Amino acid sequence: MQGRSYGYIRVSSADQNEERQQIALQAKSVPEKNIYIDKRSGRDFDRPQYLQLLKRLRRGDVLYILSIDRLGRNYQEIQQQWQFLTKYKGVDICVIDMPLLDTRLGKDLIGTFIADLVLQVLSFAAQNERENIHERQLQGIEAARVRGVQFRRPPKPLPENFGEMVQKWKEGELNASAAAAACGMPLSTFLYRARQRENPE
Position 21 scores a pLDDT of 93
Position 194 scores a pLDDT of 87
Position 98 scores a pLDDT of 84
Position 27 scores a pLDDT of 94
Annotated catalytic residue: which of 5, 12, 29, 67? Answer: 12
* Residues with Cβ within 8 Å of residue 66, at least 6 apart in sequence: 9, 20, 21, 24, 25, 95, 96, 97
Beta-bridge mates of residue 36: 8
Position 125 scores a pLDDT of 55
Position 34 scores a pLDDT of 96
Threshold 0.75, pTM exceeds: no
Note if 12 is an active site residue: yes
**What is the Cα–Cα distance from 95 to 161, expressed in whole angstroms?**
63
In the predicted model, residues of the chain with pLDDT beneath 50 are: 109, 111
Position 37 scores a pLDDT of 94
Q: 198, exposed or middle or buried, with CB in 10 Å at 0-12, 13-18, 19+?
A: exposed
Position 188 scores a pLDDT of 85
In eight-state DSSP terms, residue 157 is P
Of 127, 96, 99, the C-alpha closest to 115 is: 99
Q: At what angle do helices 176-183 and 162-170 cross, to 10 degrees?
A: 170
Position 132 scores a pLDDT of 58
Position 134 scores a pLDDT of 57
